[in-house]
Structure 1
Amino acid sequence: MLISVALLALLAITLSAVIALSPCRPVVRLLGFLYRLPLFIPFIVVAQMMRTFLAKNGLMNNALVAADLVTPLETLSWLGWKGIVITFVWKQLAFATLLICGAMAALESSQILAARNLGASRPRILFDIMLPQVLPTIGVALVLSTVTMMSVLSVPLMIGVGTPTMLTVDMAFRVNSYGDYAVANTLGVVSLAICGALSWFYLRHSLQQKGGES
């Protein structure tokens, strides 16, 4: 899951920066439409889509074979932990980008214009001006995404093959296969502690934001 969160942060920040700083409006509108697509799709539907797309005989491999990029014997199944990472990142990218992009759009445009007039490049504007001001929002987006990933059982059950797996799958396996409620409850407490720590960060940020507005 840490890999999913890291990739999500990288892609969401990059996409938000392109939307906020790109002078090409058609590209911005296209990206704005594309990144919102997964926002309202349920996780179980996304999991089934990814099973069809990432399987050894799935849509992705069939397209590669049709394009003569690989042979049928060279195709690989992406189901497993890689598929779980891809699914979570694709599903949560819309939510994280929406929050980060909104925070970037709310920044004072005079700061960006002043930096451009002084000759600052877009990467420098992003790293020196925009990112320091939207870091709390990035943290909130990643916290909410992490809690969401931890609560989803359908994706690791439908896409995960073998190990490593997620806590939710291990908890369900312990209960359904062995009736081992002690270990399942322990894993539940660990999950609760992780989510509680992340929720504390989110609530702290929300209270600070409300205090600044009042």
Structure 2
Amino acid sequence: MTTGIRMGSGAPARPAPAGEASPAPASPSSAPARRVGRAGQARGLVMALPPILLIALFIGVPIVLAFGFSLGFTGGLNHTIALIGQNVHEAAGLPTLGAYGDMFTDRRFLGDLVVTVVVTLVSTAVVVLLAVGIGLYLKFAGGVLAKVLSALAVVPLFIPVVIASWAILGFYSADGFLRSIAAQFGADFPVWSFTMVTVIIGSVWTSLPFATLLVTSGLQAVPQAMIDAARDAGASFARVVASVVIPMAGVPIVIATTFTAIGILGSFTVPYFTGPNSPNMLGVDMSNYFSAFNQPQQAIVMAFVVFAIASGIAAVYVWANFRSAKENMGKQAVR
């Protein structure tokens, strides 16, 4: 008498040993599911390809060509601009740093580089301080005045930069509003038009709205319970702000700082309309070297110098985003 149960093939089925689980049969739907998943990935890749190709064609390729041209590669698509431009350094097989050497031994370029960095640092610091001040006032004081102040800080967002630049230029000119008011009291207000002071004022004016929106939203997201707990522990207002509010809103503040610095670093309209002829910021210098001086290779060198500085600032932005994502993952894991 046989005890084994015969399958369709005629072989007896062996029972699984005691304490050992029987192997689970392969799911017949796993292979189609994998095929569906691969098809979905391929479809997503095809849908993402047009913008990627567009960016690579109209941004990536010109960047590579420009970098090669700055190193002296004047053939191919760079041939025409190399023929037209003046003071072009050509590579004899190996890359040449002649254009970079020209610029870093040029006192005008070095002065404009220093001015660009100083204006960026000062303007960014002023913007962040104003944005944090408005955000703190809105967070702790509230009321109609705080809302009006935050609304006024966003007004420049709706005024074109060209119009704002001309208005600032006229406001601080020799016959402008401030000098006219000061003259009524026998005072002599300084003329700030076509100086770096107006460039800083214009940069702060154009950069403040976005920074205010970002910083204010970050400060508003700080839990009120944390502030109340710090107050109950005897912390002063300054201690609450320095130890609780600012650290918890640190990521939005860092992001606002990096965006502001990069925007001011590469600005053109404000320094072009309100700044002096020399020294001026590199955004204006690039245009002058490319069009007025007909030295495209030197203009491209300036562009890559600005790009290198902006990349350092962008690294801080990437770090802030990475930290924010890590904190969010930690909060989800706790939940």
TM-score, with structure 2 as normaliser = 0.58
- Aligned residue number for residue 12 of structure 1: 131
User: Aligned in 2, Cα 1:49/1:113: closer, same or farther, shift over 3 Å?
Assistant: same
Summarize deviations over 1:144-198 as a string: whole Å, max 9, x none. 1112123321111110014331011111111222111121111001111122222
Q: Do structure 1's residue 134 and structure 2's residue 274 form an aligned pair?
A: no
Q: What is the CA–CA distance in structure 2 between the aligned matches of 1:41 and 1:161, rounded to whole Å?
A: 23
What is the deviation of 1:207?
4.1
1:65 maps to 2:180:
no
- How far, CA to CA, are the matches of 1:212 and 1:115 in structure 2? 21
Residue 95 in 1 paired to residue 210 in 2? yes
Gaps of 5+ in 1: none
Shift of 1:212: 4.0
Structure 2 stretches lacking a partner, 5+ long: 1-119, 330-335
Q: Structure 2: which amino acid aligns with 1:198? A: I
Contact map agreement 2:227 2:240 (CA 8 A) in 1: yes
Aligned to 2:147: 29
Return the alpha-carbon distance in structure 1 between the equivalents of residues 243 and 325 of structure 2.
Answer: 25
What does residue range 1-214 of structure 1 map to in structure 2 within 5 Å? 1-22=120-141, 25-66=143-184, 68=185, 70=187, 74-79=188-193, 80-213=195-328
Greater Cα shift, 152-161 or 29-38: 29-38
The aligned length equals: 209
How has the CA–CA distance of structure 1 residues 168 and 90 changed in structure 2, closer, same or farther, with 3 Å as cutoff?
same
Paired with 1:96 and 1:69, the residues of 2 have a C-alpha distance of: 38
Change (3 A) 1:54 1:138: same
Q: Distance in 2 between matches of 1:105 and 1:170?
A: 41
User: Highest Rg: 1 or 2?
Assistant: 2
Q: What TM-score comes out, normalization by structure 1 length?
A: 0.89
2: CA distance between counterparts of 1:189 and 1:91?
A: 24
How large is the RMSD of aligned CA atoms in angstroms?
1.9
Which has the higher relative contact order, 1 or 2, with Cα contacts under 8 A spaced 6 or more apart? 1
Deviation above 4 Å: which 4+ runs of structure 1?
none
Mapped contact 1:21–1:122 kept (Cα < 8 A): no
Q: Give secondary structure in 1 for the equivalent of 2:190.
A: coil
Paired residue type of 1:16: G
Query: 1-side partners of 2:127 and 2:189: how far apart?
Result: 26
Q: How far is the alpha carbon of 1:125 from its aligned partner?
A: 1.1
Distance (Å, rounded) in 2 between the aligned partners of 1:211 and 1:119: 31
